[in-house]
Homo-oligomer: A and B are copies of this chain.
Amino acid sequence: MAVTMRDVAREAGVSPKTVSNVMNGYPYIRAETRTRVLAAIDALGYRMNLSARNLKSGRTGVIALAVPELTNPYFAELADAAIAAAGEHGLTVMIETTGADRERELTALARPRGHLVDGLLYSPLGLGPEDVDELNTSTPMVLLGERIFHGPVDHVMIDNVEGTKAVVRHLLDQGRRRIAVIGVRPGEKIGTAAIRYDAYAETLTEYGVPVPTELTVSGGSWHRSSGADAIAELLASGQRFDAVLALNDVLALGAIRALTARGIRIPDDVAVAGFDNIDEASYSTPTLTTVDPNRVHIARTAVELLVQRMAGDTSEHRELVAPYALHARESTVGAN
């Protein structure tokens, strides 16, 4: 015989209304009560009915967040910010990773989530304007972070262009003229790397400084190891450089390690700057100058937009840019 909500309420020693509130993810329920109700649901195997309810109402109280990878602290910290923001709406977040590869990102987009989740926060690295049609999924979706293109969905963006320009201007204002750039992806005309590289080149040009293309180092994966490798490559080339712009923070931290290990002084000999403002950037030696894209703002805004769409909002799609901040730290201005 099918287990009813009334059975669960009796088992948990609460009213059926309370069981319903827990199942609908209402935030203002005592943790102890919620635990008791969920334990009763589990003990009685109320799953089938829950699933039936989901089929009927189409609501699960769960949203998905798809990011390239979690080993990059930027995305791990973004995920925790999204979990906190979703929690304020009584929503649980399930996180998926796509691997930062366009093919896999398209697969993730097309994955039939069906009744698993009510909505999707999606942070692609490799998709471009030609993939816009793929964004027409039936699951409500908000794009976040890394790309600038116009699609049929809401989009909360990192200010890649102005953020990069600010940090390059900062390096130029410190008197640096031979600014190497690491983490470039030469094949890609679109994507985060291309946007940040173009903003770097444009800023140099605005200052009348020639773009030193011989100081451009590509690095497929944006990890600490690639940052260290890029420095080895630059030094081996014999080219002179007085600053390194890393296209993200972990690349910068790998570069700092490689420079320090060779006795090259930061910032006296070479200044280093990154992009992301991950927690680690405040604790490295030297601390890292970087651009904060404002992940808390991005996560909160994206969750709010998604909640509106899940509630049936069909108004015109919005493109919002999060306010960035430049943090000048020891890696460019020294310890005092």
Enumerate chain A interface residues (CB-CB to B < 8 A).
31-32, 34-35, 38-39, 41-42, 45-48, 50-51, 55, 60, 62, 64, 69-71, 73, 76-77, 79-80, 83, 92-97, 103-104, 106-107, 110-112, 114-116, 134, 137-138, 223-224, 228, 253-254, 256-257, 260, 279-280, 282-285, 287
A70-B64 contact in complex given A279-B223, A283-B253, C-beta closer than 8 Å: no
Q: What's the Cα separation between A77 and B76 when bound, in Å?
A: 9
Copies of this chain present in the complex amount to: 2
Q: What's the Cα separation between A55 and B92 when bound, in Å?
A: 22
Give 10 nearest A-B pairs by CB, closest first.
A38-B110, A47-B114, A94-B94, A76-B76, A95-B95, A70-B76, A257-B283, A285-B285, A39-B110, A224-B283
Q: Are A110 and B285 in contact (CB under 8 A)?
A: no
For A285, the chain B residues whose CB sits under 8 A away are 256-257, 260, 284-285
For A282, the chain B residues whose CB sits under 8 A away are 224
Q: What's the Cα separation between A92 and B260 when bound, in Å?
A: 40
14 contacts between A and B (CB under 8 A): A31-B103, A38-B111, A38-B112, A41-B110, A41-B112, A42-B112, A45-B138, A50-B114, A70-B77, A92-B96, A223-B279, A257-B285, A257-B287, A284-B285
